[in-house]
Amino acid sequence: MTKLSVNINKIATLRNARGGNAPDVCRVADDLQRFGAEGITVHPRPDERHIRYADVVDLTKVIRTEFNIEGYPSDRFLELVLRVKPTQVTLVPDAPDALTSNAGWDTISHEAELRDIVLRLNDAGIRTSIFVDPDIKMVEAAARIGADRVELYTEPYASAYATNREAAVAPYVLAAQAARRLGLSVNAGHDLSLVNLGYFLDQIPFVKEVSIGHQLICDALYLGLEKTVSEYLALTSAKR
């Protein structure tokens, strides 16, 4: 069974647009878990334009499933996660001004620095995942680094799904199979939706976790949050 981790960055974006504390990110995280979500994901960025560093600390009081913190491993970010000690840290190569994650790590060029970071996190008892493109060489380097998991960057799959879903998913199948052979677990995320998620998991049924935020919150505008979580869980928990 694949776990559903809901990224709540967009909830914080809405709150920050008006100031104050509506909507309350901690209350939403609590509700999401009541509705069945098996994890909460946040991605604090240096400008704190959505999730703030203080939010991360506050969320530890309400998260009772898995807490996944994504981000670029700056000194400030590492200080935060080593203080909070979430279930999982997902390392992403975002530049400080990136609108959203748009590429995986070059794990070959950054192998030495990522190895040191992963070692620090693992020594603190934190599961580590590295955000990568569906490239076998990048997966191989992630295994050498010592990560526990890779998270496959799925925006290219989502973009090509409507045109040729078989071709779109093919490199992900190969990358996921390579990860599995190397002892890495596989996560996936970015632009996965109620339209394309089921097929992706049909082809790669051993995905451990999907992290979904923007599309899930968009769906919730029409379906409501509880119904939306239920719809996604129906896909992640389907027998394959």
Q: Residue 227: count other Cβ atoms within 10 Å of its Cβ.
A: 13
Backbone torsion region of residue 2, taken as left when φ is above 0, otherwise alpha when ψ lies between -120 and 50, otherwise beta: beta
CA distance 193 to 189: 10
| Residue 3 clears pLDDT 60, i.e. is over it | yes
Q: What percent of the chain stands above pLDDT 90? A: 93
Residues facing 149 on adjacent strands = 129, 185
| Residue 95 clears pLDDT 70, i.e. is over it | no
pTM: 0.95
CA distance 123 to 146: 12
| Residue 239 clears pLDDT 90, i.e. is over it | no
Question: Hey, which residues are catalytic here?
Answer: 43, 70, 190
Tens-place pLDDT, residues 12-69:
999 999 999 999 999 999 999 999 999 999 999 999 999 999 999 999 999 999 999 9
**The pLDDT value given to residue 101:** 60
